[in-house]
Structure 1
Amino acid sequence: MTMRFSSLFGRWPAALPALLGALLTVGLPSFALADALAEAQRLMKQGQWSLAMERVDAHIRSAPRDAEGLFLKGVILSELGRPAEAIAAYTRLSEEHPELPEPYNNLAVLYAQQKQFEKARALLDMAIRAHPGFATAHENLADVYLKLASRSYEKALQLNPGSKQAKARLATISNVLAVPAGAEGKSLPAVRRDGDGAAQAGADSARSVPASGILPVTGETSGDAPPTGVAASDEASVREALLAWAAAWSQKDTRAYFELYAADFRRPGGMSRKAWEAERTQRLGRSGKETIEVDDIRVSFVDGKAIARFRQDYRSASVKSSVVKTFIFVKSGDRWLIQEERSG
């Protein structure tokens, strides 16, 4: 399941003229504040998140209630992997400006990433009440309901393993949740509104935007068409390989696990393939049940390789952990194989 963050950018300031007064606090001219935010956005697009945060924090000190500054802070904190602080920033924004739907939506995405789906559902309801025409919130709410339904069917199967109806419906929901985002358009629209407040897709809506709401850096794919040399089905194949990797680990199937790695897999510490396989065989062979789940999968293609960024949730009898990982895949025949792993 890949839920979508929303963005304030592109529809400012026509949608909310009443908020412009916030730019004039402490006597600073509005153009100076706008310049600070423009500089922050430039730094964000360059990946200079810490410097961007400094600009935004300075801006917020000058205009504590400015909605765009508070929103940018939430975006940056999300990208820096500081979800608790991002939640605090978006919560403050929703309290200062309860008429804005975007903070509720982005809070819902953050809570859903933590698997707090009931909390996410309530926030998306608030986003839709604030703006009934907010399509992104409607899509995210549908995903949350699917995830809640999936959990209920899983519980039903635990209580009644022989239920064919529960199995069939769980399989249907799992297939829907596994559909690549690109199959129905990868874009995250930067919500724009006309002078009457009616929602419309902005010019940026055809461009692919990651969860931060910021346009991708050069090299990531965007739009509806796959990059040169990449088939439309390749994104689905990469996702399938990633799910197979998690299943092989959970099932302690070392043969299936190793078959998912390319011959030139870049092993940690430069160890030999033989030593690496021995270490992983010992690791997978430990007693006790282990469950590995992958979620929030985002796939892009650069120079014929696939880059999959995802969240890995690990559970055993004594350990629970969640970490963001990036796998680089290369194509071998009709299969996508792991060439490199990165954590964080």
Structure 2
Amino acid sequence: VRSADPGMAAAQKAAAQQHYDEAISGFDRVLATNPRNAQARFERAWALAQAGREDEAIAALSSMAQDFPELPEPHNNLALLYARRGDLKRAEAELLLAVEVRPGFSVGYANLGDVYRRLAETAYRDALRRNPADAVAQAGLRQLTATPAPAP
């Protein structure tokens, strides 16, 4: 359901045109009149992340996850930001929360699979660094890297 709050359309248009500072300001105006607008909060956090303001995006999504515990999307997007930073364990934890909140959230499961794949690659590489002759680790890494998966 799209928000009918005044200013949403203009903020969304600015975000679509990659005018992220303008979009953030627009979402801020919407939230000044309706602080419980989950869509505006989510899209504002997305615009923050796109603008390179990841710490602020993480704070916004974390706050949103607290205020709207029934929504998996804040956890999913937190996971994407953590994965981008290489913090795969935090990404995993957020994705597990997302699929717990909504067991039918297929995007969360797919992203969780990508995180597990990256964790497995890291583990195999660590094993090979310690023992370059480890045939099991070589085979596992070869299998995982045969078809590259998109990064979560």
The alignment's TM-score, normalised by the length of structure 1, stands at 0.42
For the pair 1:137 / 2:120, whether they are aligned, the reply is no
| Structure number having the greater strand percentage | 1
Partner residue, 2:134 = 163
SS state of the match for residue 47, structure 1? coil
**Aligned residue in 1 for 2:48:** 77
Partner of 1:116: 87
The 3-state SS of whatever aligns with 1:43 is: helix
In the comparison of the two structures, how many residue pairs are matched?
Answer: 152
Spell out, residue by residue over 1:213-234, the C-alpha distance to the aligned partner (whole angstroms, 9 max, x if none): xxxxxxxxxxxxxxxxxxxxxx
Partner of 2:22: 51
Q: Which consecutive aligned stretches of 4+ in structure 1 deviate over 2 angstroms post-superposition?
A: none
Alpha-carbon distance in structure 2 between the residues aligned to 1:130 and 1:45 = 29
Counterpart of 1:192? none
2: distance between equivalents of 1:168 and 1:86? 39
Distance (Å, rounded) in 1 between the aligned partners of 2:136 and 2:71: 41
Corresponding residue to 1:96 among 61, 67, 72: 67
Partner Cα distance (1:87, 1:77) in 2: 9
Deviations 1:66-107 (A, max 9, x none): 211110111100110111111011111101101000000000
* Matches of 1:121 and 1:53, distance apart in 2: 28
Paired residue type of 2:136 = Q
1:63 matched to which residue of 2?
34
Partner of 1:229: none
User: 1: CA distance between counterparts of 2:62 and 2:29?
Assistant: 20
Q: Summarize the alignment of residues 190-339 of structure 1 with structure 2, pairs less than 5 Å apart.
A: 296=151
Mapped to 2, the partners of 1:121 and 1:166 lie a distance apart of: 22
Aligned residue type for 1:169:
G
Q: Deviations over 1:113-150 (max 9, x none)?
A: 01100111011010001111111100000011111111
The structure number with the bigger radius of gyration is 1
1:42 is aligned to 2:13: yes
Paired AA for residue 9 in structure 2: A
Query: 2:145 — aligned with what?
Result: 174
Q: CA deviation at 1:51?
A: 1.2
SS at 2:74 equivalent: helix
Q: Which runs of 5 or more structure 1 residues have no equivalent in the other structure?
A: 1-11, 14-29, 182-295, 298-344
Partner of 1:151: 122
Return the offset for 1:38.
1.2
Deviation at 1:175, TM superposition (A): 2.4
- Offset of residue 65 of structure 1: 2.2
Unaligned stretches of 5+ in structure 2?
none
For 1:129 and 1:66, locate their aligned partners in 2 and report how far apart those are by CA, in whole Å. 23
Q: CA deviation at 1:166?
A: 0.7
Give the C-alpha shift of residue 172 in structure 1.
1.3
Q: What CA distance in whole angstroms lies between the structure 2 residues aligned with 1:173 and 1:101?
A: 28
Q: Deviations over 1:292-312 (max 9, x none)?
A: xxxx59xxxxxxxxxxxxxxx
